[in-house]
């Protein structure tokens, strides 16, 4: 039975309010599928790293020889037709050398390490660039990379992307048909790009003059550009 106190309250204040919390949960089933597109390209740019290591008793001697060597390489590359903008210094380090045999670590001289980065767009000249540089005193040749210019790369990526999307859409439809799913709207697109150009690396320590060695032979071949696309659909 309702107590007299509660009845009195109901009579004085009226019906007590009833509070209800309503929670609506939306559940969306998502179906994802991936496709891959790839195109091949012949690179049009080569980047070569030419290194020089020189050790001398004094800083001045080391700097003088390094500067003369760099200047000679730059001049001969320009004569070959490599423009100034495609030749740049990317590293220059001067460090003392020590003799630890006596336990005191006294300075015995100074060593300079410097590197030039050279871009070559005429592939007929790649081998000559390496041979000329080593003949002029470059004693480290490495990190030879082939690539395509930005405009061409964007066009190739667009082709690979279109192929990947087409493949993913077709795969989604095929899987939906055989599994009985009904695809809803496309709700998400994800892209993954592998290294645009798989570079070819040349890592070789070179000593002596190029005339004492066989001619350098480097070929770029074909490179592959891959893009993976993942499409996510609602399922009905």
**Which domains can be identified in the chain, with CATH numbers?**
45-148+199-214 (3.30.70.2970)
Residue listed under structure tokens 């550009």: 225
The strand order across the sheet containing 30-41 reads: 30-41, 223-235, 183-193
- Is-contact 86 154, C-beta < 8 A? no
Ramachandran category for residue 169: left, alpha or beta (phi over 0 → left; psi -120 to 50 → alpha): alpha
| pLDDT value of residue 201 | 44
- What pLDDT was estimated at residue 210? 41
Nearest to 183 by CA among 171, 191, 173, 197: 173
pLDDT of residue 175: 92
pLDDT (0 to 100) of residue 206: 41
Tell me, what's the pLDDT at 80?
95
pLDDT for 27 equals 53
pLDDT score for 112: 95
Q: Residues of the chain whose pLDDT is less than 50?
A: 2, 9, 18-25, 198-211
Per-residue pLDDT, 19: 43
pTM of the prediction? Answer: 0.62
Instruction: Decide if 131 contacts 210 (C-beta within 8 A).
Output: yes
């Amino acid at each position: 039975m309702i107590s007299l106190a509660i009845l009195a309250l109901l009579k004085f204040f009226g019906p007590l309010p009833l509070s209800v919390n309503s929670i609506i949960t939306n559940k969306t089933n998502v179906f994802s599928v991936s496709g891959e597109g790839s195109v091949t390209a012949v690179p049009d740019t080569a980047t070569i790293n030419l290194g020089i290591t020189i050790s001398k008793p004094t800083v001045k001697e080391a700097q003088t020889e390094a500067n003369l060597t760099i200047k000679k390489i730059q001049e001969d590359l320009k004569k070959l037709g490599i423009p100034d903008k495609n030749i740049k210094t990317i590293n220059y380090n001067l460090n003392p050398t020590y003799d630890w045999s006596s336990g005191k670590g006294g300075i015995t001289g100074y060593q300079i390490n410097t590197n030039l980065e050279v871009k070559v767009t005429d592939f007929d000249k790649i081998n000559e660039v390496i041979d000329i540089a080593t003949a002029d005193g470059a004693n480290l040749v490495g990190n030879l990379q082939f690539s395509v210019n930005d405009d061409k790369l964007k066009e190739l990526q667009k082709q690979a992307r279109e192929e990947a999307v087409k493949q993913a859409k077709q795969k989604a439809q095929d899987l939906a048909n055989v599994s009985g799913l009904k695809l809803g709207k496309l709700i998400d697109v994800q892209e993954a790009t592998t290294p645009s150009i798989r570079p070819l690396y040349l890592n070789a320590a070179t000593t002596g003059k190029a005339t004492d060695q066989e001619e350098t032979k480097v070929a770029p071949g074909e490179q592959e550009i891959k893009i993976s696309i993942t499409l996510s659909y609602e399922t009905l």
